[in-house]
Structure 1
Amino acid sequence: MIRSILLALLVFSAGTTSAQTLPRLAVFDFSLVNTSLEASTAEELARLNRLNGQVQDALRTRYTMVDVGPMRDRLARIESIRGCNGCELDMARDLGAEQVAYGWVQKVSNLILNVNFVIEDAATGRTLHAESVDIRGNTDDSWRRGLRYLLMERMFRQ
């Protein structure tokens, strides 16, 4: 009888695990779209790198993260993943991802910026999530808080 119960629990837990498989997500790096009259700074580029780590950490519990390293050469040849006519979908599929994500920060001025983030279905190109938040102030803290708000309060609010 104990064996039957243990076997039933094992079968049930195996079914539960497979039903809860997380979607495979390829996350491409944030880019900076500078439409201001001010030059981009090294600090802003460093902030972009921190956003990349922040988004990876935030999405890790919702997705199985796919390594995009094999696409670095292809990514270096395009000006912007936002306007590459679906190349992000091709790269995601080539990596075995079911979904693809990318983001950008638009610098309107040193005071006004916005953080944008999109998740698409890699097979169909359908937009699953797309959000944007305006931030005030071009600081490490404003960028970090802007992305956190976008993800937790707008995109994945429970």
Structure 2
Amino acid sequence: MAVFDFELIDSSLEGELTGPKAEETARLEMLGERLRAAFASAEGFEVVDVEPVREDASRRNLQACGGCDRALAAELGAEWAVTGTVQKVSNLILNINLYVRDVATGERLQTMSADIRGNTDESWQRGLDWLIRNRLAIGK
């Protein structure tokens, strides 16, 4: 599987006024690394390195690019493409979304979401960890 970096969907007033924040960019990277590690340590999953297509993927909106996530995953030899977003409504209201798609057919195999409260490293980690345990059913 190819687990791509998370993308931020910032519809907050703060985001409109100030643009991307360095700490949120770092949190997006942390989520991707954490999810890749969870899949890699779970039995039955093989995670391919997305580095060869990382720059290309970062220039696109993987949720609305007409299947470019599948094309990039196929380029890496993956059977599944895993993408994720963090939607920021405000510094208090955010949600983490994960999508698992079959590369060959384009079928969404899983779609899941976790609402989180607070724009902190801890809240982002807890939200992703909850999805890993309770929706993906991997990990601790």
Normalized against structure 2, the TM-score is what?
Answer: 0.89
| Identical amino acids, percent of aligned pairs | 47
Asked whether the equivalents of residues 81 and 100 of structure 2 are also in contact (C-alpha less than 8 Å), the reply is yes
Give yes or no for the alignment of 1:141 onto 2:122: yes
Give yes or no for the alignment of 1:75 onto 2:51: no
- Give the partner amino acid of 1:143: W
SS at match of 2:115: strand
Residue among 82, 92, 102 paired with 1:121: 102
Q: Kindly report structure 1 stretches of 4+ aligned residues shifted beyond 4 Å.
A: none
Tell me how many residue pairs correspond in the alignment: 133
Distance 1:77 1:143, change over 3 A: closer
Asked whether the equivalents of residues 130 and 155 of structure 1 are also in contact (C-alpha less than 8 Å), the reply is no
Structure with greater helix share of residues = 1
What per-residue deviation string (whole Å, max 9, x for no partner) do you get for residues 73-130 of structure 1? 422442x111100011111111111111010100000100000011111000111111
Residue among 18, 39, 46 paired with 1:64: 46
In the other structure, the counterpart of 1:89 is: 70
- Give unpaired runs (5+ residues) of structure 2: none
How do 1:31-42 and structure 2 match up within 5 A?
A: 31-39=7-15, 40-42=20-22
Asked whether the equivalents of residues 57 and 72 of structure 2 are also in contact (C-alpha less than 8 Å), the reply is no
In the other structure, the counterpart of 2:6 is: 30
- Give the partner amino acid of 1:72: R
SS at match of 1:56: helix
Distance 1:65 1:157, change over 3 A: closer
- Give the partner amino acid of 1:43: E
Distance 1:73 1:143, change over 3 A: closer
1:133, distance to aligned residue in structure 2 (A):
0.7
Distance 1:50 1:108, change over 3 A: same
Cα RMSD after superposing both structures: 1.5
Give yes or no for the alignment of 1:48 onto 2:48: no
1:36, distance to aligned residue in structure 2 (A):
0.5
- Give unpaired runs (5+ residues) of structure 1: 1-24
Larger Rg: 1
